[in-house]
Amino acid sequence: MSDPDFADLNAELVEIDATSKQLQFEIAQVRGRGRFSSGEVSVTVDARGRVQSLELSPQALHRGAAALAEGIMQCIREAERQADAASADIVGRLRRDPVFAQAMSALDAQRRSDSE
């Protein structure tokens, strides 16, 4: 690879790194929320689906253990779906980025030529 080609690839990699860091930051901010029965149960999860908060109203506590457990699980599933969708949207932006696609093609070509 000539120096100009290397400089171009390096510039693209620097841009991809900056974009990747921005997307990582955005994913870290992702939250999914689920609510059950007019807000008696409310759950918030992060991008990985880890529960960040669980709120129960006094009315929720009168539902009985089985109903309360089911309500909590419904909230978690809804919150996870929201977080997954938001994260997928963020990652999709990177995959659609023309600089990222071009750099990945160049890296794939380099790997193929190195293995020959």
Which three-class secondary structure string do you get for the chain? CCHHHHHHHHHHHHHHHHHHHHHHHHHHHCEEEEEECCCCEEEEEECCCCEEEEEECCCHHHCCHHHHHHHHHHHHHHHHHHHHHHHHHHHHHHHHCHHHHHHHHHHHHHHHHHHC
Residue 116 lies in a domain: no
pLDDT of residue 3: 66
Domain assignment present for residue 52? The answer is: yes
- CATH assignment at residue 39: 3.30.1310.10
β-bridge mates for residue 57, sequence order? none
Give the confidence band of 4 by pLDDT, cuts at 50, 70, 90: low
Q: Inform me whether the pLDDT recorded for 1 exceeds 70.
A: no
Global pTM?
Answer: 0.75
- Full domain range(s) for residue 93: 3-111
Residue 17, pLDDT score: 85
Q: Count how many domains the chain has.
A: 1
For the segment 50-99, what is each residue's pLDDT rounded down to a tens digit? 999 999 999 999 999 999 999 999 999 999 999 999 999 998 887 788 87
28 DSSP β-pair partners: none
